[in-house]
Structure 1
Amino acid sequence: MAQGTRMRTGGITGGRRDQVGRGIRAGVVAAVAAVTLAGVSGCAFGRPKPPPLPDWATASPSASYDPANPTPSSSYTSPGYDSYSPSPTEETFDPDGRSDIRGSGCDFSASTRQFSYTVSLTNPSTTSTFSYDMRVDWMKDRPADGTSYGVHQRSVTVAPGATETYTATYTLNQSSWQAFWYTCQITRAHKTKM
């Protein structure tokens, strides 16, 4: 450097020191400008290399991702489970079997003096046989005062899921009567398992 040669041969004077100071300042300004230029352009100096990632960060996941198809495809398959079928619910048992019975054809024949009523019993169970202890009453109606004209009783056995139909009858003892109103009622159907 020219200034270094001058400093070696001639001593440093105040003016030269000032010039040397200016030279140092100019060199610092030039270096700062070069660093700034390199930072702006990104060409003058290489960027520092980031530290390597730890092993857990570079491990390949079980699902792969394709940027062209953003839905990840996974190699995971769900484990097979045995299908569960709940046990059938236990059948409820009500000893009052009147809800299992339908009646129709409530009638009275003047020629035979006979009441009749057709009764159908349906066993709702799919596994149990039931016996129905039946009672049919022909009751006074208009006024309905609780008077019974006649009673029919019978036990009927019905298989699981089956329907039994029969005609209940009752014959009046008297040979003559006046006109009357009557109704047919199933007053008992006690159900027991066989």
Structure 2
Amino acid sequence: MKQHTRTGMGSREGARTGTRVVVAAGLAVATVATVGGCAFTRPRVQVPTYFPSPTSTGGYNPNDPTPSYGSTPTYEPTYSPSPTMETFDPDGRSDVSGRNCDFSNSLRQFTYTVSITNPSTTDSFSYDMAVNWMKAKPADGKAYGLHERSIIVGPGDTETYTAKYTVNQSSIGQFWYTCQITRAHKTRM
């Protein structure tokens, strides 16, 4: 008589045992993967090299849903300053310049070209001018001649004229002289 060895159990019992074997095998693989650290490959993530700062222009802070722009933009209205009175200085020598300080032996005459520029944009001024031709060597304060004139200059305009002084002496030797604008008193018209 032949003997049969039963290696398996009934169909129900065999299915449970087979499931246990599969679960046990799965746990063994999971344990090996956890302990070994590389049984399963991890997904590769590429990290960007530039992270915009939340304070950089157009940056986004995930904790603050509104964008930040470095400094908070302010929306203050701008107003033009109200027109103010122009400052007035009656000493107009800063408005005046001179050139071509000269003496003509044949005419026995001093000349000096004077330019007056009115800095005001709204007012006309009358300039009371005085030009002196002074002794230069030695500079002892002596004046050879004086020219006086009043001239009106409109707003923003420049007036130029030649100041003249004729010497009464018939013959003049060699001498040193300078030209000076000694007065430019201005009054509003």
Q: State the TM-score, normalized to the length of structure 2.
A: 0.61
Which of the two has greater helix per residue?
1
State the match for 1:72 in structure 2.
Answer: 65
2:172 partner letter: W
After the TM superposition, which residues 32-71 of structure 1 pair with which residues of structure 2 at under 5 Å, given as runs?
Answer: 69-71=62-64
CA RMSD for the aligned pairs? 2.4
Structure 1 134/68 Cα, relative in aligned 2: closer, same or farther at 3 Å? closer
Classify 1:177/1:81 alpha carbon distance in 2 versus 1 (closer, same or farther; 3 Å).
Answer: closer
Match of 2:114 among 112, 119, 128: 119
User: Counterparts of 1:125 and 1:193 in 2: how far apart (Å)?
Assistant: 10
1:90 to 63, 68, 85: 85
- Secondary structure of residue in 1 paired with 2:99: strand
The count of aligned residue pairs is 125
CA deviation digits over 1:33-77, x for unaligned, max 9? xxxxxxxxxxxxxxxxxxxxxxxxxxxxxxxxxx99544249xxx
Could you say which residue in structure 2 is the equivalent of 1:104? 99
* Residue 164 of structure 2: aligned partner: 169
Deviations 1:64-92 (A, max 9, x none): xxx99544249xxxxx8764221134311
Distance 1:68 1:128 in 2: 59
Q: Deviations 1:82-125 (Å, cap 9, x if unpaired)?
A: 64221134311110000000000000010111100000000001
1:68 and 1:97 mapped to 2: Cα distance? 62
The TM-score, its normalising length taken from structure 1, stands at: 0.59
Match of 1:159 among 142, 149, 154: 154
User: Does the alignment pair 1:131 with 2:129?
Assistant: no
- CA distance in structure 2 between the partners assigned to 1:154 and 1:96 by the alignment: 15
1:192 match: 187
SS at match of 1:175: coil
In 2, Cα distance between equivalents of 1:105 and 1:180 = 17
In the alignment, the residues of structure 2 paired with residue 73 and residue 177 of structure 1 have an alpha-carbon distance, to the nearest angstrom, of 89
In structure 1, C-alpha distance between the alignment counterparts of 2:115 and 2:105, rounded to whole Å:
25
| SS class of match (1:72) | strand
2:57 corresponds to which residue?
Answer: none
Aligned-pair identity in percent equals 67
Q: Which has the larger radius of gyration?
A: 1
Gaps of 5+ in 1: 1-66, 75-79
> Following the alignment from structure 1 to structure 2, what is the Cα–Cα distance between the partners of residues 182 and 92?
36
